[in-house]
Each structure stands twice: as structure tokens, then as C-alpha cells.
Chains A and B, each alone.
Chain A
Amino acid sequence: NAGVTQTPKFQVLKTGQSMTLQCAQDMNHEYMSWYRQDPGMGLRLIHYSVGAGITDQGEVPNGYNVSRSTTEDFPLRLLSAAPSQTSVYFCASSYRISGANVLTFGAGSRLTVL
């Protein structure tokens, strides 16, 4: 199993450009989520999905869009990139163990916005 696959691993954008960070999982997990990690900070939740066709906002959703058309894929879209969105982005998916969602993380995508 590949687990959670994120692409690209690195990306440089100019302010105002748009792009999509891809996330795919092959574990049939219902729950998928996106986090961002900034220096000196822990990970912060951007958006999440509890199943195909269902998405909701996390702690820092502004500037990001998501959709969930299949169980496997959960892309994160930046419509007009800003320097404040320079960060490392993690996708995570989960199943339930004893009532808790135990997250499996992707390897991260480092995004730089100039």
C-alpha cells in the first residue's frame, strides 16, 4: 500500500497564481484532512472531509478550497496564492480505532509563494 501520497513535494509560485496540491490515499479511509505547518508552529487544520461529497472548514480555511468527489482523493486548491501561504502542507487520512481517528500523514508539500 502506498498510504497517503501528496504531489508535488515542492512548488514555487508567484503571488496571484493558482495551483492544486494533490492528495490520494489507498486505504479506503473516509476521513481526510489538510494541515499547514509554519516555522515555530504546530500543524493547523485547514479543511477536512468525512466522506465523498462532504467537506468542512478547519481552523485556517481562508484562501483555500477543497472538494471530495471520490473517497481516494482530496485536492487542496489555492485560487490566488499569497506570500502568507508559504508553508509546508500535510494531507492526512484516518480510520477509527476504538472511537478515535488515528491519522496517517502524507510526506508533505513545501510551497513557496514569492
Chain B
Amino acid sequence: AQTVTQSQPEMSVQEAETVTLSCTYDTSESNYYLFWYKQPPSRQMILVIRQEAYKQQNATENRFSVNFQKAAKSFSLKISDSQLGDTAMYFCAFMKVTGGGADGLTFGKGTHLIIQP
């Protein structure tokens, strides 16, 4: 079974600063995907970024980027030029890839990110 650990229950930064959220995972799988999801107060789960384990290049989506260290089983999220709308719970998630396509997500417990004006 896989486990995902987010060691920072809550973080607070000033608007426009850069912030990094940590995530580590444990798996014996070699083929998998990693995700960061954002959950604002509206409760909606929103995909932020996705990383395929077989790709060495770190994924980037506008102000969001990841630092994927496969050997260390680490998958951190960096948010640049943080905005008030980035205030949310952020969940790191793991998905193993199976031939049948039944790929459920294993989530970490989340990091509550607060962007201060």
C-alpha cells in the first residue's frame, strides 16, 4: 500500500512571496503519477499540477511548479508570486498505474495555506 505524508499542517506567507509545500510518499511501485490538488473554502477539488514518475523534467503550470525527486520519494509544490486566491487546503496525491485502469488516488492529510495581504 502507498502512503503520502504532508508534514506541514498549516503555512502562512505574505502576498507575492514564494512558498513551497512539502510532500513525501512511500511506494514499491515503479510506474505512478503524482498530483497536487487545491481545495478552497468552496470545498471544490481542483487539480493544480500532475507529474508522471517516468519523466525527469519537473512539471510547471504558470505560477505552480514541482520539485520531483524520485529517489528520495519527494514531491514538493512551489507557488511563485502568491495571490490571495491561493488560500486553500492543498493535497498531495499518489496514483499507481495498473493495466486495468482502476487507478484510485491516495491522498496526504493536506496543508492549509494562508496568503496574507
Contacts and interface: CB of A to CB of B under 8 A. Distances in A.
A103 B102 contact: no
A31 B104 CA distance: 10
A101 B95 contact: yes
Contact of A33 (B4, B52, B104, B107): B104
B9 to A, nearest CB: 8
Interface stretch (B11-19, B41-49, B61-69, B77-85): B41-49
Interface residues of A, number: 28
Residues of B contacting A: mostly? loop
B45 A105 contact: yes
Given A50-B102, A100-B97, A101-B101, A42 B47 contact: no
B50 A100 contact: yes
A56 B102 contact: yes
Interface in A7-46: 30-31, 33, 35, 40-45
Nearest to B100: A50
B50 A44 contact: no
Contact of B101 (A31, A92, A103): A31
A102 interface: yes
A48 B97 contact: no
Interface of B: 4, 33, 42-45, 47, 50, 52, 91, 93, 95, 97, 100-110
18 contacts: A41-B109, A42-B107, A42-B108, A43-B91, A45-B104, A50-B101, A50-B102, A56-B102, A58-B104, A100-B33, A100-B52, A101-B101, A103-B45, A105-B44, A107-B42, A107-B43, A107-B44, A108-B44
